[in-house]
Amino acid sequence: MDFSLGNYWYLLLLLLLPVVAILVFGFKKWKKQRKNIFADAKFHQELYPKGNVFSKIFPMLYLLGFLFLILAMVDFLSGKEEMKIQQKVNSVIFVLDVSNSMNAEDVAPYRLQQAKNILKNCLQQMHDDKVGIVVFAGEAQSIMPLTSDYTAAETYIDAIETNVIRRQGTDFLKAVEVATDKFKNIPKGSRKIVLISDGEDNEGNEKAAIKEAKNQGIIINSIGVGTDEGAPIPVYVYGQLMGYKTDMNDETVITKRQTEALMSLAYDTGGEYIDGNNLADSVSKILTALQTQKGNSQTMIDTQSAVHYYQWFLSVSILFFVLIFLFNPKNDFNI
């Protein structure tokens, strides 16, 4: 069994035991010398009462009592005790589309800001669940690991812009793969993705993304932002609006929300598809979905103070002092 010490500083008190022993046995020797000075040894039997057996072992009992008292104060512990705590919690990775089409302004103030507002409002009402953030376009990357620090998560969200991913597109498979890597130590029943996207520019790999999610025990809840009528895609240079994206024929590109892939990702993995254009309604629905989908998660906790053994040492110490109290003669050090 792996033992450890609780209050190891009390071990310094053991240094007092040799001092006490020297004083006790030194006193016995001094008392004997005083007797010899007072009278010859042949008169000791008549002058002094004969010490009993207990008086001879009394100093040792006294020292042992203090020894075990000190050991009780030190408090021996068994090394570890593993405790299983079962909780209904989720580990939620928010997967946010940052392709250029998310700059479209058909949802006020624009799609990406609406998505960020949904994330922040969700975090303000979440408890206990761990959250992480992945952004994606033509490729994906994690910008925040799973954590319970919701304040830090909001700081990460505020910094998200469409230029954080250079390669454009909407690659759902890459997003799911990066999220999966963050779920390595999470039980399958607790893995959730909240994916926010306009669904456009999909590279046709939503089926592969669904397969990967199902294999990994991940439930995807998707939120679609944008309108069916669509809007042009603003082009910014150093934060300044330079116009709108055009095609090869120099005609303005109109980006529209595409919900088919988003719905497939959600329904085929056991999740929910939610219209994200209404902030309050979408936040309420996603929180309800996550609450319904919560699975039982067992958490292992190692504790260093679970099993104490000080009571055994204290009991032995008390036993020695009780014996001394009950059987101690009036002249403790008589020989």
Strand positions, DSSP E, 14-136: 76-78, 81-89, 91-97, 130-136
**Residue 258: which CATH number?**
3.40.50.410
Same domain, 66 and 118: no
The tokens describing 5, both together, are 């010490």
DSSP string, 272-299: -EEE-SSHHHHHHHHHHHHHHT-EEEEE
Same domain, 34 and 137: no
Q: How many CA atoms lie within 13 A of 203 on its CB side?
A: 17
**What is the number of structural domains in the chain?**
2
Say how many C-beta atoms besides its own lie within 10 A of residue 169's C-beta: 17
Provide CB contacts within 8 A for 8, sequence distance 6+.
Answer: 74
pLDDT in tens, 11-69: 787 888 888 788 877 777 777 776 666 666 655 565 555 555 666 777 788 788 888 88
- Residue type present at position 120: K
Distance CA 89, CA 87 (A): 6
Q: Which helix (H) or strand (E) holds 26?
A: helix 16-38
Which structural domain, as residue segments, surrounds residue 272? Answer: 85-300
Same domain, 250 and 310: no
For the whole model, what pTM was predicted?
0.64
Same domain, 282 and 135: yes
Residue 334 lies in a domain: no
Residue 335 lies in a domain: no
pLDDT in tens, 284-328: 999 999 988 876 555 555 554 457 777 888 898 898 888 887 876
Which of 148, 82, 147 shows the shortest CA–CA distance to 299?
A: 82
Strand 91-97 versus strand 191-197 pairing type: parallel
